[in-house]
Each structure stands twice: as structure tokens, then as C-alpha cells.
Amino acid sequence: MVATRVFEAKEKGASLYVVDPRRIRLAEFADEYAEIEPGTNLAFVNALIHIIIEEDLYDHKFVAERVENFEAVKESVKDCTAKWAEEITNIPAETIENIARGFAGADKGSVLYAMGITQHKTGTKNVASLANLVMITGNVGREGTGLNPLRGQNNVQGACDLGALPNVLPGYQKAVDPATKEKYGKVWGDFSCFDGNKIPEMFDRIDEGKMKALYVMGENPVLSDPDQQHVMHCLEKVDFMVVQDIFLSETAQYADVVLPGASFLEKDGSFTNTERRAQLIHKALEPIGESKPDWLILAELMQMFGYEGSYENPSAVMDEINTLVPQYGGITYERIQDVGLQWPCPNLDHPGTQYLHKDKFIRGKGLMTVTPYEEPGEQADEEYPLIMTTGRVHHHYHTGTMTREVWTLDREYPGGFVEINKADAEKMGLWDHQMVKISSRRGSITAKAVITDNIKEGVVFMSFHFAESPVNKLTSQVVDPVTKIPEYKVTAVRIEVA
């Protein structure tokens, strides 16, 4: 759907710049396509900022009135010339200059990004550098501008908003803040309000023998987490595990108890999309067999542990959300029956918020961050001469537990595959559709070779939809120090005939 919007903008005369190590479909329509070396985003963005400042193409008024720390960033990118970035990113200096001038010259500029930015050791800095770019060009708080993360799974926004995070309570209220404890304590009584472990840290705690029990709802970490060996080892080790899912996933195999949940067509509730718009889902079918809607399972378990309250339906849960989560204060089922509302929506009279940061940033002035380039955690060498990057293919969804059950989608990409550049394939003497072995410093898997022009030389691409080619056996445990997001986009590998 986002692609549709991009095409519409393009038809109306917008310029499109695509930066990706794979020549994705959108690249065909781009004014400039930059075939970037995986793991070098920061060098590219810093060069854009350097050129825009150097050539005086930045938005002076916006910078003066609404931004802090501009001088420090300016100083930090002073040597980041297009030539310098060309060396690192392999994007021709001229292309970098064209993109910088084009983006700075546009009346409205918008940056769309996904895991290609975040799944790196420098993921947090990558996002911060893009924020610098939209700030110096004044592309904030107006229609058709901004920094727009594209979320893969449907309700990432809602999961974050409503508290599926270790450091905050629902509504991004800091767990360690005494005010949060007091506010939630009134409704929840005694509860744990610390900075908890993020997922990779939970696995570490299990490995150390401290964490004894795990509850996994609707996720399949065996396929989706980096370093599959380590994950399987930990799931094997943990004393007790509950998995709640709609299929017996690879992860569920390790469970002591499996609870059958319901799909989104079998329950009521709400999702929040990437524009922060909360929208209703309605039950179309009864949950299959004896399965139950996940909200009901969670509510019943709460009662097992002594909770005296109860929820008649998801709307009653939303009532509690209205009182505790300021951003959702005015988002009731009644109001979103027909059209969803965008948070922040603090009360029943509030119309919702279309653009964040419209007149001022939430924190006042926008803070620019110095984000120097760092090399990715893994480098190619003689033994592992190729760089593998991972992602999704159009017809599948995350680890494939849903889409692989749908034959009309599965036949489009029926098995694990690895995309290899023609020139690399020739050097290795591979032919199309041959089975190959892909090895990294952590393990080996096999998959079918797909030989293509659409990927950079020296780079191979794999998707993590396929249980028979578990890519995460190969990926490293290098993570972004802030978010703990693993560096999925850069793994050094070797390929040989299987």
C-alpha cells in the first residue's frame, strides 16, 4: 500500500530516490538508484548532510527556530564528502550529490525506511542521522514530509504503545519513574516496575541459569531471532515454557504447554497502523475448535493468579486503556466504529492527531545528534568473502507461519533461496536453481541459488520465511547497543555447491 502512495506521488511529479543493496521493484521507477554496500548507511547519510550544508541548501529558518545542536553536527560531517562516501558505500559520488541536491531542493521531502536501517549495529544512529537530514531540510510536521518507519508486522505500533516493552508501561511511561508506579499502582495494585530484560538479554539470563520460565505469545523466535543455535539451546534449557499460537510453530515444539489462540478473523479488538491510527477488527468466524481469543486466555490466566477483576470483552480492556494511557485517552470503540483515530487523542472531544511535531517537537526543539560512521560488526574476508543481507519477499510475512499455509501465496516462492549476482555465480561456477551450501562463522544451511542482476556483486540475499533454510543459523549476535536489534543485514558468508 505504501508503494501505491509512492507511485501516486511519482505520477504527480515527485522524484524518487531508492537506496538498497538489492535492485528492488521500486528501483525501476527511481530517478536515482543507489546500490549501497550493506552496513554503510551512516556514511551515505552523513555525506548527504555534508553536501546540503556545504552547498548552503539547508532550511536556515527551520534550523534557527526549531533545531538544537546544528553546529556540532555540521562540524562532525565536515570531512564526509561524496568522494569519501563513495569509497565506503560504493555509490558513485555523483549519485550521492544528485540525491542530496534533489532532496534538499524539494518543497516537501519524505524519508521512508524499514529494517534496512534498523537491523544494524548502528541502527539507532542510522535513524538519528535520517532525523538530522529531515530536520536540516525542514521536512517535519507537514503533509508529505517526515521520517516514516515502515513497520513490517501489522501491529508493531500498538504493541509498543500498549506496553510490550521492558522499560516502559503502556503509553511509554517510564517504568522506573515513581509517578508511573503510583499511577498504575492505583489500578494494578502491586506490580513489577523495573527496567526489564530485552529479548536477547532474556536468552542470556536463561543461559546463565537465572531465568527459569518463558511465556511466548504469537511469536516464533526459533525462526525470527538471530543465531538460531543459541535460541534453540536456550529454549531447550529453560525449565518451563508456555507458547500461545495458532499453529504448532518451531518454537511451540519446545513448549511444556501450548495454548491455542485465535486469528485476527476470529476475534474483536483493535490494531494501530503505522500512522498511529487505531482501527477495529471484528470477529468474522468463531475461533476454530476449542481455541480461544488471546485476550480471553490472558484475562483468564490473570484470574488464575488471583486477579479479582474481569473483562467482558476487548472493549472493556480499552476502557482501562483510556484511563491509563494518555495517548489513547479518547480512543473508545464507540468513536472508532467507522473510522479509526490517530493518537495522541487525550480525551473524548479530541479529534486525534494527524501530524506529530506540527508546530513544535514533543520535546520542544528538535535535537540533532552527532552520528559518526562505524564499520559493520562483520567484514568479508578470504574465508567468508560474501556479505549476506536478509529481508522479506513480497508474498510472505515474517516467518511464514500464516502465509505458508496459503497455497496461492506459497506457490510464488515455494522454498528457501539465496540471490546471487551473476558475476559472482560465474566465478563460482554455479547455475540457476542449483542447491548450494551457505556458511557463516556460526553454521551452514542449504538453499536454492537464484542468479540475478538485481543484487550487488559481493552481496547475497536471503529471506527468513523458510523453516527448511533457517537463515538465523548464520546471522551474528552483534546488536545495536541501545535497542538490542540484531545486525541482520550484514553477515559474512561463503557459498559452495551443496
Partner 1 sequence: MILLKRVLTTCGYCGCGCGLYVNIEGDEILGVTPQGGHVVSDGKLCAKGWHGFSFVRSPRRLTKPLIKNNDGTFREASWEEAYKTVKEGFTRAMTGGDNTDAIGVFSSARCTNEENFLMAKLARMSLKTSSIDHCARL
Of residues 182-241, which lie at the interface with partner 1 (CB under 8 A)? 188-199, 201-202, 205-206, 210-221, 224-226, 239-240
Nearer to partner 1, 173 or 440 (CB): 173
- Residues 244 to 273 in contact with partner 1, rule: CB under 8 A: 245-248, 255-261, 263-267, 269-273
Report if residue 423 touches partner 1, rule: CB under 8 A.
no
* Contact residues for 445 (Cβ-Cβ < 8 A; gap 6+): 416, 437, 438, 469, 470, 471, 473, 474
Q: How far is the CB of 448 from partner 1 (least distance, A)?
A: 22
Nearer to partner 1, 125 or 277 (CB): 277
The phi and psi torsions of 280 (rounded to 5 degrees) equal -85, 150
Report if residue 283 touches partner 1, rule: CB under 8 A.
yes
Report if residue 134 touches partner 1, rule: CB under 8 A.
no
Q: Which of 16, 356, 393, 402 binds partner 1 (CB under 8 A)?
A: 402
Distance CA 215, CA 220 (A): 12
Report if residue 485 touches partner 1, rule: CB under 8 A.
yes
Q: Which of 26, 106, 242, 370 binds partner 1 (CB under 8 A)?
A: 242
- Residues 143 to 162 in contact with partner 1, rule: CB under 8 A: 150-162
Nearer to partner 1, 66 or 267 (CB): 267
Q: Which of 75, 94, 286, 383 binds partner 1 (CB under 8 A)?
A: 286
Q: How far is the CB of 375 from partner 1 (least distance, A)?
A: 22
Q: How far is the CB of 219 from partner 1 (least distance, A)?
A: 4
The DSSP string of 336-366 is TSSS-EESP--STT----SSTTSSSBTTBSE
Distance CA 172, CA 230 (A): 31
Q: How far is the CB of 296 from partner 1 (least distance, A)?
A: 9
Cβ atoms within 10 Å, residue 359: 7
Q: Are strands 110-113 and 146-149 parallel, antiparallel or unpaired?
A: parallel
Site stretch for partner 1 (CB under 8 A), options 15-23, 133-141, 297-305, 371-379: 297-305
Nearest to 124 by CA among 484, 491, 490: 484
Q: How far is the CB of 436 from partner 1 (least distance, A)?
A: 25
Report if residue 340 touches partner 1, rule: CB under 8 A.
yes
What per-residue string of b and e applies to 26-59 under the rule 16 or more CB within 10 Å gives b? bbeebebbbbbbbbbbbbbbbbbbbbbbbeeebb
175 in helix, strand or coil? coil
- Residues 8 to 37 in contact with partner 1, rule: CB under 8 A: none
467 in helix, strand or coil? coil
Nearer to partner 1, 105 or 189 (CB): 189
Report if residue 177 touches partner 1, rule: CB under 8 A.
no
Report if residue 274 touches partner 1, rule: CB under 8 A.
yes
Distance CA 412, CA 476 (A): 29
Distance of alpha carbon 257 from the chain centroid: 29
Nearer to partner 1, 59 or 245 (CB): 245
Nearer to partner 1, 340 or 416 (CB): 340
Cβ atoms within 10 Å, residue 170: 19
Site string for partner 1, 104-123 (x = CB under 8 A): --------------xx----
Number of residues that bind partner 1 (CB under 8 A): 133
Question: Is the CB of residue 22 less than 8 Å from the CB of residue 454?
Answer: yes
158 in helix, strand or coil? helix
The DSSP string of 414-440 is -S-EEEEEHHHHHHHT--TT-EEEEE-
Q: How far is the CB of 371 from partner 1 (least distance, A)?
A: 19
Nearer to partner 1, 176 or 435 (CB): 176
Question: Is the CB of residue 418 less than 8 Å from the CB of residue 436?
Answer: yes
Nearer to partner 1, 94 or 337 (CB): 337
Q: How far is the CB of 111 from partner 1 (least distance, A)?
A: 16
Report if residue 179 touches partner 1, rule: CB under 8 A.
no
